[in-house]
Structure 1
Amino acid sequence: MSDPSRHPPAHYLVTWSVLGLIALAVAIFLVWPDNFTSPNSSVVSSQGPATTEPLVSTAASPAPTETFTPGLTLTPVVSLSVTPVTEVATPLSASATSHFDGTQAYQFVLEQLALGPRPVGSTAGWKTGDYIIRQLEEFGWEVSTQEFIYKGVKGRNIIGKGGSGPILILGAHYDTRPAADQDPDPAKRDEPILGANDGASGVAVLLELARVLDRSALKREVWLTFFDAEDRGQLDGWPFSVGAMEMARWLTRHPEAMVLVDMIGDADQQIYFEHNSHPKLAAAIWKVAKSLGYEEHFIPQFKYTIIDDHLPFAQRGIPAVDIIDFDYPYWHTIQDTADKVSTASLERVGHTLQVWLESLPAK
């Protein structure tokens, strides 16, 4: 049996019940707009736009150390596991909004050449970086830079980010060689090269991709990356790929893959597999090229082992591919000029990359 003295009077219960209901109604009214989303409201995905996490560490950057010997044949990078980036969605088709235009890409080549030779640390080199930044901003990409100093020379990497999902780096170097050390005329070997193919062609492909890529179709956060200080290697004690080493060293987010575009403008274009490239990732890109009718120019056979800007990323476990036509007789000579660059060659590479990027399935 219960004790009646322990129960409050009935009118107390009614009063407190009414007050409780009023308080509950007020709480629901205040909280509802901020904590509930209507069926028509947009929700940011966990793989949405890039976070504010910095591209590189804010700590003071030490001078890059050479992690490999220029000219050394390294063991091919073949043991990395296959990631979803090697898959290709079907059917393969270019963006419905815009098709990669080789003629426009060639215009980007000419605009770089108008600045003259563009070695790291030069006025023309810095102006080229400014030009790249303007183009990326005009095309609506989020731009960041990474400055560094090596042997007293200031360099700058430039990154344009777009899309959402796992990070995929698409790179090219924009500096040119300060001395034509491979020129057949010994009297000209101290002259700087213009770098129409070795430098400007890769940049042109990336800039045209910045213009035409359907970012709404991308299932990756694409970083269009322009490396400085690639082409001074074996001159004045410099290694190759200083800018790429600097970027790879200070990455704070692990990319899913890295694809390098270098020296692809040659009219007699033949692009082979490269031994330091991830074979399955390369095969996926070459498969797209074949589907577009470019199999005579993308040849799925290994030929060269090349030290290039992809290698610092491969050495850190990132699947990396070098798309390069190394059969170029004007390499590091003063004859590397605009007349050696083909609009059709630029378009084959750019179109292949556009279709590949826009066709990658979500991870």
Structure 2
Amino acid sequence: MIARYSSSIRLLVCTLSLVGFALSCNTKDTSEQTTEQTTAMAAAPTFDADSAYGFVEKQVAFGPRVPNTKAHEQAGDYLVRTLEQYGFSVTEQKFVATTYDGKKLNARNIIGSYQPQASKRIMLASHWDSRPFADQDSTRKTQAVPGANDGASGVGVLLEIARVLHEAKNKPELGVDIVFFDAEDWGKSAVTSDGNYAGFCLGSRYWAENRHVPNYTAYFGILLDMVGAKNATFPKEGFSTKNASEVVRTVWNTASQLGYSTYFIDQQGPAITDDHVPVNETAKFPMIDIIHTRVNDLSRTFFDDWHTTEDNMDNIDPKTLKAVGQTLLQVLYNEGQPNV
């Protein structure tokens, strides 16, 4: 993903490598606080953080999920099997992606649909691939990233949500599409003129242009990226507040009511070019990004071990997974109440 900032019309190069790269945007540097509104909370099931942790651990055990590797193939098959096990209708969207440096990747987006007959749908997404080179590592820059937090954490949360929905006695009256985007993290870690994406977000860009169901749309979407680290902070991402402010307000208010405001920070964060951007711009429905960025610290945008070989299970805290997963479940059940 790409971080963008605007401050006195200067380009702030602070992300995606030690040299980093940033592209200007019109997000505000000042905090945009939202007046909290009390929402009637539906009876939602319990999100099991230990189970979510196990789903993260299982992915990491395959090895780095770098496209064109055996670990990537095995991990993808595991995601398909797990979604099917929980009663989801699964579509594998296979495609060949071309990287910024001309490599051809055998990639696949994996889409699991819950209650596919429902007209009101919410899309939940995360990327499932790992970065092929640890460009932020101090010494092992050519090694692949394990991707425990950057990738597997979001997938783990969504697999646990799939399990809970499958086993719940009371089910929300809506459809849920869980989308695992591939080939998100094979981008160029430098300032580039390669459009707005610098080689990132290949899977979501493909999906937005070739949706798994013709003219697919959702009431709204929520993307998860780096949602497992200890003491993670999720300020309101810039493109999310620009394109889907009501969804941001709903999610952050729900988190606050559940007692998770130390994670879901009521403060404007940077704009991050991530998998939600092509959904907003090309698929044309509102999608937000719950992504760990530092609050009031422009020296480093993401968590300490981002894009290093140390992005392993040591980074994953069940408490953070719980905060994110329980919030999403509550949002689903609030939206899925009759006549809502």
Amino acid in structure 2 at the alignment position of 1:271: F
Q: What's the counterpart of residue 9 of structure 1?
A: none
Q: 1:249 to 1:195 in 2, by over 3 A?
A: same
Match status 1:343 vs 2:318: yes
1:196 aligns with 2:148: yes
* TM-score relative to the length of structure 1: 0.73
Tell me how far 1:334 sits from its aligned partner.
0.9
What pairs with 1:142-153 in structure 2 (closer than 5 Å)? 142-151=89-98, 152-153=104-105
Instruction: Tell me, in whole angstroms, the C-alpha distance in 2 between the residues paired with 1:145 and 1:88.
Output: 39
Q: Which of 230, 246, 252 lines up with 1:267 in the alignment?
A: 230
Write the distance in 1 (CA, Å) between the matches of 2:153 and 2:255.
18
* Structure 2 letter corresponding to 1:313: V
Q: Distance in 2 between matches of 1:218 and 1:88?
A: 20
Q: Is residue 233 of structure 1 aligned with residue 199 of structure 2?
A: no
Match runs of 1:53-132 below 5 Å: 71-75=22-26, 90-95=40-45, 99-132=46-79
1:172 equivalent to 2:135? Answer: no
Q: Counterpart in 2 of 1:135?
A: 82
Query: What's the CA shift string for 1:26-45, capped at 9, x where partnerless?
Result: xxxxxxxxxxxxxxxxxxxx
CA distance in 1, matches of 2:218, 2:202: 19
Q: SS in structure 1 opposite 2:221?
A: strand
Equivalent pairs: percent with the same residue? 36
Displacement after TM superposition at 1:174 (Å): 0.5
Equivalent of residue 181 in structure 1, options 124, 132, 135: 135
* Compared CA separation, residues 89 and 310, structure 1 to 2 (3 A): same
- Flag structure 2 segments of 5+ consecutive residues without an equivalent: 1-20, 29-36, 99-103, 295-302
In 2, the alpha carbon distance for the partners of 1:296 and 1:226 equals 27
2:305 maps to 1:330: yes
* Equivalent residues in 2 for 1:212-251, closer than 5 Å: 212-213=164-165, 214=168, 217-234=171-188, 239-251=199-211
Paired residue secondary structure (2:259): coil
Whether the 8 Å CA contact 2:235–2:265 is kept in 1: the answer is yes
Structure 1 portions without partners, runs of 5+: 1-69, 78-86
Whether the 8 Å contact between 1:165 and 1:219 is mirrored in structure 2 is no
Cα distance in structure 2, aligned partners of 1:181 and 1:215: 46
Deviation digits for residues 280-318 of structure 1, max 9, x if unmatched?
Answer: 211100111111111111112111110111010111331
- 1:318 alignment partner, one of 258, 262, 285: 285
Q: Distance in 1 between matches of 2:40 and 2:313?
A: 37
Q: What residue is the counterpart of 1:307 in the other structure?
A: 273
Offset of 1:91 from its aligned partner? 2.8
| Cα drift, residue 142 of structure 1 | 0.8
Bigger proportion of residues as helix: 1
Contact 1:88 1:359 in 2 (8 A): no
Matched to 1:348, the amino acid is A
Amino acid at match of 2:59: Q
CA distance in 2, matches of 1:76, 1:223: 29
Q: Paired residue for 2:14?
A: none
CA RMSD of superposed structures (Å): 2.1
After TM superposition, give the deviation of residue 355 of structure 1 in Å: 0.9
* 1:88 positional shift: 8.8
Corresponding letter in the other structure for 2:278: P
Q: Is the 8 A contact 1:283 1:300 kept in 2?
A: no
* Cα separation, 2, equivalents of 1:76 and 1:224: 29
Shift of 1:165: 2.5
Q: Distance in 2 between matches of 1:320 and 1:88?
A: 22
- Distance in structure 2 (CA, Å) of the matches to 1:113 and 1:347: 19
For 1:346, give the aligned amino acid.
L
* Aligned counterpart in structure 1 of residue 252 of structure 2, from 272, 275, 286: 286
Q: Do residues 356 (structure 1) and 331 (structure 2) align?
A: yes
**Is the 2:27–2:270 Cα contact (8 Å) retained in structure 1?**
no
Q: Which residue of 2 aligns with 1:207?
A: 159
Paired positions, count: 280
After TM superposition, the score normalised by the length of structure 2 is 0.78
The structure with the largest alpha-carbon Rg is 1
Aligned AA (1:326) = T
Contact 1:120 1:153 in 2 (8 A): yes
Say whether the 8 Å CA contact 1:162–1:215 is kept in structure 2: no
Does the 8 A contact of 1:71 with 1:307 survive in 2?
no
- 8 Å CA contact 1:92, 1:288 repeated in 2: no
Change (3 A) 1:190 1:330: same
Counterparts of 1:303 and 1:345, CA distance in 2: 19
Does residue 276 (structure 1) correspond to residue 239 (structure 2)? The answer is yes
Which amino acid counterpart does residue 143 of structure 2 have in structure 1?
E
